[in-house]
Amino acid sequence: MFSFLKGMMAGAPAIDITELEALLASRSVYVLDVREDHEYRSGHVPGAIHAPLGRLHDRLPKLKKDRPYAVICASGSRSQRGTGILLDAGFEGAVSVQGGTGAWARSGRPIVR
């Protein structure tokens, strides 16, 4: 189990954007953005893998189960569901990002457009 799996948000492990930034800096996590196509194109966390929530089940075979994923959406609710999907499929290192891309952008952290 990964050491950053400490927060709980509606049953899904969760981290905040400060923790996400530290994990990205240490290359300890991959970001999985579960927002819709137009949302992702409007701006996303650098390096984020795009897998809209409605198509996440189809993308699971392409994801590596031995990688930790920080699941992010706009504000945090879809990422909780996405994290649950990953955990149910055996991805032990999945966490939801509290506040989502909105919190990331509002904090002044970089966004890819």
What mean pLDDT is predicted for residues 38-44? 98
Distances (CA, A) of 43 to 55, 56, 89, 104: 19, 19, 28, 11
Over the stretch 77-108, which tens digit does the pLDDT of each residue have? 999 999 999 999 999 999 999 999 999 999 99
Which residues share a beta bridge with 16?
Answer: none
- Which residue numbers are catalytic? 73
pTM: 0.90
What mean pLDDT is predicted for residues 55-76? 96
Structural tokens at position 83: 């994290």
Q: How confident is the model at residue 9 (pLDDT cuts 50, 70, 90)?
A: very low
CATH class of the domain at 7-106: alpha beta
